[in-house]
Amino acid sequence: MAVPKRKMSRSNTRSRRAQWKTAAPALVSCNQCRSPKLPHVACPTCGTYNRRQVIEPSA
Amino acid sequence: MPKPAKGARLGGSPAHERLILANLATQLFQHGRIRTTETKAKRLRPLAERLITKAKKGDIHNRRQVLTVVKDKGVVHHLFTEIAPTFAERPGGYTRITKLGPRKGDSAPMAMIELVSEPLNAVTTTRTTPAATPAEEVVELPENDTATAEATPADEAPADAAPADEKTESKKDEA
């Protein structure tokens, strides 16, 4: 079975992990309450989607 | 021939997937709306709508076919007697899926699948006839003789309908 010949240095490990980045999600404002929410998803603040009450708003 | 679903089965094995979907369908008909993952909601939708279509037919054969999926006789009775009549004039599209965003523990995208309870909207068609009739009237006036066109507004301003008819008839004769 193929195995690494050398221990990977901290520098190489950290260089690789430096490319792990997160991206902020694109948000839109809710029609009903104007709070930011994910597009195409019911608003978690007021619980509506297309002005239709889908869920109870989570406090 | 039915096309097999692509990708892994829900729950790992075909039998487990059948059980999951049957339980979800049972819960959906029992409660009217259930909260589940987007993947399960999307897989449940065709099954649930097929069962409702069978329930709308309502005979004993269809009831036995539904009973092979939904094992609970009480739920099947509720489906055939309460749910199916509400969808009598709706031609499919009995369920609605609304996305609810990621779940807290594992960030799984969640969705709400519910039986549509709103009344069916009447189909509104936008015809161009209202726009076409004023255009014709505008065209008619210059084509007629200038003497009659000038005379009719001065003489018979209250009786608009009769001159309009006369104009259209005269136009038909000319054409």
**Among A38, A44, A54, whose Cβ lies nearest the Cβ of B98?**
A54
Residues composing chain B: 175
CB atoms within 10 A of CB A30: 19
Query: Is a pLDDT exceeding 70 seen at residue B100?
Result: yes
Q: Each residue of B131-162: pLDDT tens digit?
A: 555 555 554 544 444 444 444 444 444 444 44
Task: Enumerate the residues of chain A whose CB falls inside 8 A of the CB of residue B101.
Answer: 38, 41-42, 44
Task: Look at residue B113 and give its three-state secondary structure.
Answer: strand
CA distance A13 to B68: 55
- Which of A27, A54, A55, A56 to mutate to test binding with chain B, by most B CBs within 10 Å of its CB? A54
Q: What pLDDT score does B146 carry?
A: 47
- Which of B37, B95, B98, B104 to mutate to test binding with chain A, by most A CBs within 10 Å of its CB? B98
CA distance B163 to B175: 18
Q: Each residue of B107-130: pLDDT tens digit?
A: 999 999 999 988 887 777 777 655
Amino acid found at B174:
E
Bridge partners of residue B109, in order along the sequence: B102
**Long-range CB contacts (< 8 A, 24+ apart) of B18-25?**
B21/B47, B21/B69, B22/B69, B22/B70, B22/B71, B25/B51, B25/B69, B25/B70
ipTM of the complex in this document: 0.79
b/e per residue, A4-29, with b = 16+ CB within 10 A? eeeeeeeeeeeeeeeeeeeeeeeeee
Task: Enumerate the residues of chain B whose CB falls inside 8 A of the CB of residue A58.
Answer: none
Task: Enumerate the residues of chain B whose CB falls inside 8 A of the CB of residue A44.
Answer: 100-101
A53 close to A35: Cβ distance less than 8 angstroms: no
Q: Which residues of A touch B (CB under 8 A)?
A: 38, 40-42, 44, 49, 54-55
